[in-house]
Amino acid sequence: MLEHQTRRAGAPSAGDEPPCRNHFASVALSGGCWANRGGCPTEVALDIRWRPQDGGPPDKEDEDQIALAGIPWETVAQFATVGIFFVAFCAVLDLARNLLLPVVSAFVIGTMLGPLSALASRYRMPSWLSASLLMIVFVGLVSLVVTLLSAPLVEWIGKAPDIGHMIRDKLQVFDRPLAALRDVRNALLPGNKDGGLQIDLGASLVAPALTVLSPAVGELVVFFGTLFFFLMGRDDMRRFLVQVFEDRDLRLRTLRILNDVEQSLTSYLSLVTVINFTVGVGTAVIAWIAGLPNVAVWAVLAFVLNYIPYIGPLVMSVVLFAVGIVTFPTLAQAAVAPACFVAMATLEGHFITPSIMGRKLTLNPLNVFLALAFWTWLWGPIGAFLAVPLLITALVTLKHLFPKPEVNLPR
């Protein structure tokens, strides 16, 4: 039931209830004069609150009005705008992958090499010369890694069918559990039936990996061209980004963001490279003690894969187990090398790296995992390598754009 309340304008009575927001919607009726003692115009407020003493529940239309009035439409619109922007952003990153992936990779690597370029500028070295020297060093390191890995990998890839059969024979112990799973699958999907454990390394693993890791010539040209011109025009680009803003505070903030991003990425690259080199040496020792062939190959592979948190050590453990299955007659001997590597990776990831990185470069594991999942889904293995640097860049930028005081929460 709707209760009509009248009051004289400007003179509320003592018994009037205070206004109650978010619980009812009031509609003011003005423009008319109702007869009262003073003959003055009055303001009529429509109170659609329902009280139990009113004798009956409100109508359906009144309930709808109350429900709609309680919805925070402004907040809903903001969330919808952010969601639409995120979907459009992901679509652009996916559609323009062939262009954005080499460009973003060049910007990230160029930012990591920025302090070396600044050091060359202090010694009056021309920008084109310093950029050329850095490019030569970078290409030489990449060529060295590719040379160390290419010949043994080509040999193992050529033996992929034989290795697949050998692994299948060694894993006969898992036939019974796999047979139970196949029976369940055949009961659910009668059309899909196979005859046993099928392992095709060439078709299911090697070919897709090589397709992703072997970029087109055009992407390589875009990457090296962007990296060279980024290093050569680093000072001009920084000056342009600072002078875009007219306000002095905005210019200082932009300069702080650029310096902090460059310093954080360089610190991350240098520290992680030292740690990964140690991991590679440890992997070589483990492979040599376990009796695996091609010790240098597994050391370099561990060094490269350890740049990818979580995923890299997991892939390396699987590779060592597969090599052990091919090399040794029993599964117990094959599990020695991956077990030792998992122990070393756990020690490195949970104790050594956090203590060396310190508080400044400590990242939330959940943020790292979500960044890895997002960029790997979007850009594949190269995105996995770029996930942590892009996360560091985003966090540093947000820290300067939206500074927040640190609050010590009670434990």
What's the whole-number mean pLDDT along residues 84-101?
A: 89
Task: State the pLDDT at residue 181.
Answer: 66
How many CB atoms neighbour CB 312 within 10 A? 23
Mean pLDDT lowest among 35-39, 95-99, 165-169, 187-191: 35-39
Judge contact between 345 and 279, C-beta under 8 A.
yes
* Cβ-based neighbour number of residue 282 at 10 Å: 18
| Distances in whole angstroms, Cα of residue 172 to Cα of each of 22, 89, 164, 278, 312 | 67, 47, 13, 36, 28
Tell me how far CA of residue 109 lies from CA of 138, 198, 266, in angstroms.
10, 41, 9
Q: Is residue 347 within 8 Å of 306, Cβ to Cβ?
A: no
* pTM score, whole prediction: 0.68
Q: What is the dihedral of CA 196, 201, 203, 205, to 10 degrees?
A: 120
For residue range 337-348, what is the model confidence (pLDDT) as tens digits?
A: 999 999 998 888
Q: Given pLDDT bands bounded at 50, 70 and 90, which one contains residue 293? A: confident
Question: Any residues with CB less than 8 A from the CB of 28 and at least 6 apart, and which?
Answer: 43, 44, 45, 46
In the block, which residue shows the tokens 């990296």?
Answer: 227
Residue 242 pLDDT grade (very low, low, confident, very high; cuts 50, 70, 90): confident
Q: Report, as an integer, the average pLDDT of 191-202.
A: 48
